[in-house]
Amino acid sequence: MTRTFDHLVAEAESVSVDGWDFSWLDGRATEQRPSWGYQKLLGERLSRVSSVLDVQTGGGEVLAGAGALPPLTVATESWPPNVAKATRLLHPRGAVVVADSDEPPLPFGDDAFELVSSRHPVTVWWDEIARVLTPGGTYFSQQVGPASVFELVEYFLGPQPEEVRRARHPDDAVAGARAVGLEIVDLRSERLRTEFNDIGAVIYFLRKVIWMVPGFTVGHHRDRLRELHERIEREGPFVAHTARFLVEARKTG
């Protein structure tokens, strides 16, 4: 039986959006994954070091699922519900979770970690990454690229200026890393298909990824949500495209 707009809205508004687990979207949305497999590659790097800092760890799910953790494993996170979730997940694995504002400086000494990792960081403070890496240490990160899911963003916000569409370009990451003396070891980028099968999936996604449509609420955007619901019912899944890039950089000095 087809679920009504009001039912889908109520369901998506009531579910928790804590952590960085998107399993609620199973069967309701699909996202093509980057070909490189970040978590597997992270696990390979974790096996080769004795210390790692995972910046902006979210609920700790990615780090916890990457395999055996080094003897010194530290994760930072700023959002209190995620700090609590990451603590529950990572403490039994011997990792320390530090509540941090995601503003510089990082609360660690110089040359503290052989590996700094981060999946989908909101902001990258390159000078701080370089400072806390040991000489020869590596920064390894999968990041959101430019104009990611902008079909959905622009549905609600209208056409965005070119400087907004270009933000988070891989070239900027390369420039930022090189500016603090890091050597780029690897850089890959892909654009990937994403489908939203019902309006509940859209609402859940925008509640969770809050920077996509700043200030998003069902109440404020109800008319556009209803129009999109009717479009999905009439035409099928709403299609957007995510942008992802992988960057690996080494501290040479």
- Domains along the sequence of the chain with CATH: 5-251 (3.40.50.150)
Please tell me the predicted confidence (pLDDT) of residue 228: 98
Determine the straight-line distance between the first and last CA of the chain, rounded to whole angstroms.
63
Percent of the chain with pLDDT over 70: 99
pLDDT tens per residue across span 212-246 = 999 999 999 999 999 999 999 999 999 999 999 99
Query: For residue 54, what are the β-bridge partners?
Result: 75, 117
Positive or negative, the CA dihedral 85, 89, 92, 95 is negative
Please tell me the predicted confidence (pLDDT) of residue 67: 94
CA nearest to 58, candidates 84, 24, 27? 84
pLDDT tens per residue across span 13-62 = 999 988 778 999 999 999 999 999 999 999 999 999 999 999 999 999 99
Please tell me the predicted confidence (pLDDT) of residue 1: 54
Read off the pTM.
0.89
What is the pLDDT averaged over residues 188-194?
98
Q: How far apart are CA 54 and CA 73, in angstroms?
A: 8
Q: Mean pLDDT score of the chain, rounded to an integer?
A: 96
Please tell me the predicted confidence (pLDDT) of residue 50: 98
What is the pLDDT averaged over residues 108-127?
97
Q: Is the pLDDT of residue 2 over 80?
A: no
pLDDT tens per residue across span 58-93 = 999 999 999 999 999 999 999 898 999 999 999 999
